[in-house]
Structure 1
């Protein structure tokens, strides 16, 4: 990864990259780049990190405004032989303080806004690093771009394939995230290399315009960066602002043929699909990971495409493992509106020749029969090296060659996996995710429905709408044949606590609304 862009430039890769705003590490560099300019940025950044004091095997923490230059900085750190740790700027200051204390980075790459926000929350994140490189506005006591500009980058330094390569954190939906350590063998050799094959229909083609609207501090985009650059599509568009009104001009200027976005971003951009000249008219492939997608959103995007047979690829996995299963949706497979069928909770089958899946009893870990619910375990050679500073916690989730995902699900007779709930979020006698699917399908005005499990009380539904209002008569019609729930709480998108990937922090939301966090789940495997 340290020489990825150099090697792509040397072999003549002519991919053009368009940004919705300039890189934070190159604010004067404009919004359009070729591979050679990206390679030069990585080399320059390696020189800056070395000038700031980073050396081989050091850890370099990156926490800044969200942009693809997270991965350019990570590649620069890898080039030095250091280990980058990509931390989301959406994390609370307290959580960042815990993670940085575990990391003890030689260099912290951040920005003035991040430092100021954390100080307001009572945490001085600069105190955890030997040196701080602050991008953008000058910060007292920190190095700025002018202090390291022009520093000569050291020659690339290699490492063993099994040694730590990069550190990412888990989503953090249930508290302080874990720091996940991956090696070249796991995240590149087992994940990115597999994705770099030109698989019919789902592999990137040289004539594709690829839109990436993920969050760039997480492991998925690091892996995507490796595979996308190797497959060399004609154009890559990077979207960091997921507001539909600001995203629309960018998408219209470069209409994508392949889209990969956060589930929450798909929800926010969905109203663009209703426009006559919608920006998704050329899309042949939509990709979603991170979190569940509900049927109405998938249906809307597939209908917006004018491609003869657009495809939606839904991946399920974890930061620790990478993708575990895939499922494909078409216009025809999404016609079961208002039904009680599984919808998008059927996650598909394990990745062929890559992953194994079994479902076990939560108490005994003994396998259960197909069709019965239990804890989902997986076996994969892409499993991470461990949790930095929490190896006992990581070991508790590993049972022999199997990994405890912490999800409750069912292995169907055809081998596919039906997801019911996270173990920590489960309700008594029902699947919250299933009810969410149904309500999202039945209530057009609802952007997202979240069903919160509550111990000794019926589940509490939260209806996220544009204005925080809810048609109560429509709600009563929608829940007429569903299990008993409490009265719904309508909220706006901004009122719901979320992770950097847009996932709802369910326990935080439950505490926000009820003052309690007790559910039927144990939370032992979060």
Structure 2
């Protein structure tokens, strides 16, 4: 078997391949809290079968939806595999979503079973939201909870034989990041998620693919669309070790990173920002990393330089741009040399590289007429890819509004350069005429010492407002004025703490919610039609 073929039997197939990878966890799995932090592949296959047994005992049948809402950890993927094995469609929802948002999404899903935790239910109840009523049945991973199935009575049941489905039938439901409101529920199939995304990544390529001797580390949001294809492809390539870190808290991550120093590292952009202090000094845990990977959101030059400078090797950084609906669309390789500090106005990280060869086509069009615009002219980004999902649950009209035949409206504003690469400017809803909020954020983070994060908000009739997070909670006015230099006029910066910035489960800033927090109003230059 040359590539991953089925999610439900993924780990059984890995056992047949005699995959010798050891998986190490930053904490025990929520589905198996008493079984430690180290697994081989046969043990993982057994765990997936056991979970499939208790899902079947809970009454889950082929075609049912199983919603999962819990703390971030890799067992989101194992639960998805188990649900797929019994023929159900797993819907993976982050516990970082607001309780009312969770209720909306669960209502759209109408799941046969909700797999969750006491913490999720109790937090929702504190906000006056009852989540149990929107699922036919529910189970909490800690055990007994009022009006839920007792987990102890479900464990130990023999799993039914694997159920196989057509490659174009619904396989998994992921939600989008939700930076601009209630997330969409994206339906993916075996053709798009496993055969397409995981199949492409499980091809062994020079430099960017993991190697047999690698220690591959992942610190991402495991409820989101990246986790399943990443898991399938990495384990298919069988590195020596896989290290899973569930939290971005540097104090929790550092012991794991030092115990199992990674040679490849993929993390959320916000996690790289929070781990940046760990990259300082000769004894840092990233000294052996040869490959860094970032997806999910924009990254800024100072953070990339910090990690590329932390390793004693000749590292490569792969920056990937994509969406939950489509998977990866463009990629760019960066090195210490390409990120060398410069006085240039346009930072290199805004260039997101080229479309994935042979898989993705990209087109820039006028947002009003949808006619192609010349290279170098900003416009709405449309893409064509074979790994696109098939629907939004409960929002078919919204899906159809973004799909134009084989082309998909990303809702991003960008520029195609004369060399064929793609410059990311902004989300259409956040667009700043004649400028780029994301570019201004790049420049300011590059120029202002001690700046951890910068978010620029554009509002009609007002100067752009920079909202900043600093290392010490203060902003030196002299450094700030010096940084403005050749930049457009901006309002006085607002300094907040990291935890005051509303974020999604993937660490992205919820810009519309941030506007509400700082009371700047919801007016933007964009229409928001394609969010």
| TM-score bin (small chain) | over 0.9
Aligned residue number for residue 77 of structure 1:
83
| Aligned match of 1:43 | 49
Q: Distance in 2 between matches of 1:3 and 1:135?
A: 23
What is the alpha-carbon distance in structure 1 between the residues aligned to residue 520 and residue 306 of structure 2?
36
- Determine helix, strand or coil for the equivalent of 2:464: strand
Give the conservation status (yes or no) of the 8 Å contact 1:497–1:508: yes
Equivalent residues in 2 for 1:332-351 (5 A)? Answer: 332-351=337-356
Who is 1:194 aligned against? 200
How many Å separate the matches in 2 of 1:463 and 1:120?
31
Secondary structure, in 3 states, of the residue corresponding to 1:458? coil
Conserved? CA contact 2:220–2:267, under 8 Å: yes
Preserved CA contact (<8 Å) 1:343 1:437:
no
Q: 2:247 aligns with which of 237, 241, 252?
A: 241
Deviation sequence 1:314-340 (CA, Å, 0-9, x none): 000000000000000001100133421
Aligned match of 1:386: 391
Matched, 1:446 2:451: yes
Among 345, 359, 363, which residue is 1:358 paired with?
Answer: 363
- How many Å separate the matches in 2 of 1:517 and 1:467? 29
Deviation, structure 1 residue 515:
4.3
CA contact (8 A) 1:251 1:279 kept: yes
In the alignment, which of 11, 18, 22 is matched to residue 5 of structure 1?
A: 11
Alignment of 1:4-403 (within 5 A): 4-307=10-313, 309-403=314-408
Rounded to whole Å, the distance in 2 between the matches of 1:467 and 1:115 is 36
Q: What is the CA distance between 1:208 and its match in structure 2?
A: 0.6
1:481-524 per-residue CA deviation (whole Å, 9 max, x = no partner) reads 21011100011110000000000001110121124110101000
Looking at structure 2, the residues matched to 301 and 329 of structure 1 have their Cα atoms a distance apart, in angstroms, of 12
TM-score by length of 2: 0.98
Select which of 432, 435, 440 maps to 1:435: 440
Contact 1:295-1:343 at 8 Å conserved across structures = yes
Deviations 1:260-311 (A, max 9, x none): 000000000011110320000000100000000100111111110111x210
Q: CA deviation at 1:4?
A: 0.6
The answer as to whether partners of 1:466 and 1:493 remain within 8 angstroms in 2 is: no
Q: Within 1, Cα distance between the matches of 2:61 and 2:275?
A: 42
Residues 53 and 160 in structure 2, CA contact (< 8 A), matched pair in contact too: yes
Structure 1 residue runs of 4 or more that deviate by more than 3 Å after TM superposition: none
Q: 11-20 or 509-518: which moved more? A: 509-518
Aligned residue among 408, 419, 425 for 1:414? 419
1:508-523 matched pairs, under 5 angstroms = 508-523=513-528
Q: RMSD in angstroms over aligned alpha carbons?
A: 0.9
Contact 1:338/1:438 (CA < 8 Å) preserved in 2?
Answer: no
Counterparts of 1:419-498 in structure 2, within 5 Å, are: 419-498=424-503
CA distance in 2: counterparts of 1:229 and 1:144, whole angstroms: 33
Distance 1:244 1:333 in 2: 27
1:47-102 deviation digits (Å, cap 9, x = unpaired): 11111110000000000011000000000000000000000100001111111000
Provide the secondary structure at the position in 2 that maps to 1:132.
Answer: strand
Structure 1 Cα separation of the partners of residues 514 and 457 of structure 2: 8
Query: Does the residue aligned with 1:233 lie in a helix, a strand or coil?
Result: coil
- Shift of residue 178, structure 1, vs aligned partner: 0.3
- Structure 1: stretches of 5+ with no match in the other structure: none
Provide the rounded CA distance (Å) in 2 between the counterparts of 1:242 and 1:420.
27
Separation in structure 2 between the aligned mates of residue 219 and residue 313 of structure 1, nearest angstrom:
18
Tell me if structure 2 keeps the 8 A contact 1:166–1:181: yes
1:337-366 CA distance string (max 9 Å, x none): 342124211010000000000100000000
| Aligned mates of 1:7, 1:189 — CA distance in 2 | 14
Q: Distance in 2 between matches of 1:144 and 1:264?
A: 37
CA displacement 1:368-396 (0-9 Å, x = unmatched)? 00010000000111111110110100000
TM-score by length of 1: 0.99
In the alignment, is the contact (CA less than 8 A) between 2:72 and 2:247 conserved in 1?
no
